[in-house]
Amino acid sequence: MSTLPHESLNTSDSAATAMDEEAIEELLDELQEWTLKQVDGISRVEKRYHFNDFAQALHFTNKVGELAEKAGHHPALLTEWGKVTVSWWSHSLGGVHRNDLIMAARTDQLL
């Protein structure tokens, strides 16, 4: 079981560096079905969640939104009928930070 969801987010300036691909992949091994994607040359971690209908997908989207607001760290969300795609990356770093993987793990706990 991953300890990631229990870690505190590190928002110090000294921690403000994007992770390399190898380090990201190592932590992704702790998470189920999250993948590393490149979009416009920027790394992000992404997962698609499946639901029985749009209402369930929307409810999950709102739960992710509440999580993001509490943490002050926000993902890209795509809500469709029966599915929600969540993408985490650190906009200011132009890539993935450990905080993004922590938030991915916390997103999984919302189910």
CATH of the domain at 24: 3.30.1360.20
pLDDT digit string, tens, across residues 25-54: 999 999 999 999 999 999 999 999 999 999
pLDDT band with cut points at 50, 70 and 90 for residue 1: low
The rounded distance, in Å, linking the Cα atoms of 96 and 27 is 11
Within a domain: 1: no
Within a domain: 16: yes
Within a domain: 70: yes
Domain tally, the chain: 1
Within a domain: 3: no
Helices (H), ranges, the chain: 21-28, 54-71, 98-108
Within a domain: 2: no
Range of the domain at 50: 8-108
Residue 43 CA: distances (Å) to CA of 56, 81, 104, 109: 28, 26, 14, 23
Contact 87, 46 (CB under 8 A): yes
The rounded distance, in Å, linking the Cα atoms of 7 and 5 is 6
pLDDT at 12 over 90: no
